[in-house]
Amino acid sequence: MLTFTSYKALFIAVALVGSLLLSTPTLVLFMPWSGEAFSEIWVLGSSHTTSDYPFNVTAGEQYTIYLGVANHMAGTSYYTLKVKFRNQTDSYPDTDLGKASSLPTLNEYRIVIPDGGVWEKQLTLSFSNISTLGNRCVIQNLKINDLTFNVNKQAQWDSKNAGYYYQLLFELWIFNPSTQSFQYHNRYSAIWLNMTSPV
């Protein structure tokens, strides 16, 4: 037979267990939500919109774009942005296989962004030493800000779209602490350019 002290101990134990069970749903409501971790990359035109990308470009002119990255990886991330230049037949990143383009990297930007942080850079583009012969156009030099790159990139005349088409490609790579190396993050952004008046 239980004594008064035993009933009292049993009552306290049941009350404690009951209060823990009742408070658990309340605790879940106050726990921070942890959604999917991801990164963003974008290119915007000169007025920070998607409506004013440079498209029809001419040798000797300057064009402004903004390149940006946002980190939502639930921690500080170390990124590399690789800049590549392609024509309409060069390799493209394969998002199904998570593989970067096989094109050579012209330039790269290494950046550290805290969780929730944003990095953005203004880029000024210009093209020089452009030539046309028959149905092809060759761009020798691409200048990004103060750096000039010898791209020697040829494009065939696209009769369907009436132009010589190139693409400025930005690939996002992220540092993997397990391998101690950067790996393609399966994210990229690009803008099409039509060389309209080679000189």
Residues 106, 12 share a domain:
no
Q: How confident is the model at residue 197 (pLDDT cuts 50, 70, 90)?
A: low
Name the more confident of 12 and 191.
191
The mean pLDDT of 125-141, rounded to a whole number, is: 95
Q: How confident is the model at residue 175 (pLDDT cuts 50, 70, 90)?
A: very high
Name 9's Cβ contacts closer than 8 Å, sequence gap at least 6.
Answer: none
Residues 166, 131 share a domain:
yes
d(CA 42, CA 13): 58
The mean pLDDT of 27-35, rounded to a whole number, is: 46
Residues 146, 94 share a domain:
yes
Instruction: Specify the number of domains making up the chain.
Output: 2
The mean pLDDT of 117-143, rounded to a whole number, is: 96
d(CA 155, CA 65): 22
Q: Taking the model in full, what pTM does it have?
A: 0.80
pLDDT tens per residue across span 74-84: 999 999 999 99
Name 69's Cβ contacts closer than 8 Å, sequence gap at least 6.
Answer: 39, 40, 41, 42, 79, 81, 111, 113, 118, 119, 120, 172
Range of the domain at 21: 1-31
Residue 20 has pLDDT above 90, yes or no: no
Q: Which amino acid is at 61?
A: E
CATH number for the domain harbouring residue 168? 2.60.40.3880
Helices then strands, each counted (H, E), the chain: 1, 10
* Mean of per-residue pLDDT scores for the chain: 87
Residues 155, 118 share a domain:
yes
Residues 115, 25 share a domain:
no
Judge contact between 135 and 92, C-beta under 8 A: no
pLDDT tens per residue across span 107-119: 999 999 999 999 9
Return the pLDDT at 6. 54
Residues 61, 97 share a domain:
yes
Residues 44, 25 share a domain:
no
Residue 33 has pLDDT above 50, yes or no: no
Give me the residue label for tokens 């470009």: 57
% pLDDT > 70, the chain: 81
Buried residues in 39-53 as b, exposed as e (16+ CB within 10 A): bebebbbeeeeeeeb
Residues 45, 136 share a domain:
yes
Q: How confident is the model at residue 36 (pLDDT cuts 50, 70, 90)?
A: confident
Residues 129, 113 share a domain:
yes
Residues 58, 20 share a domain:
no
Residues 45, 14 share a domain:
no
Residues 27, 43 share a domain:
no
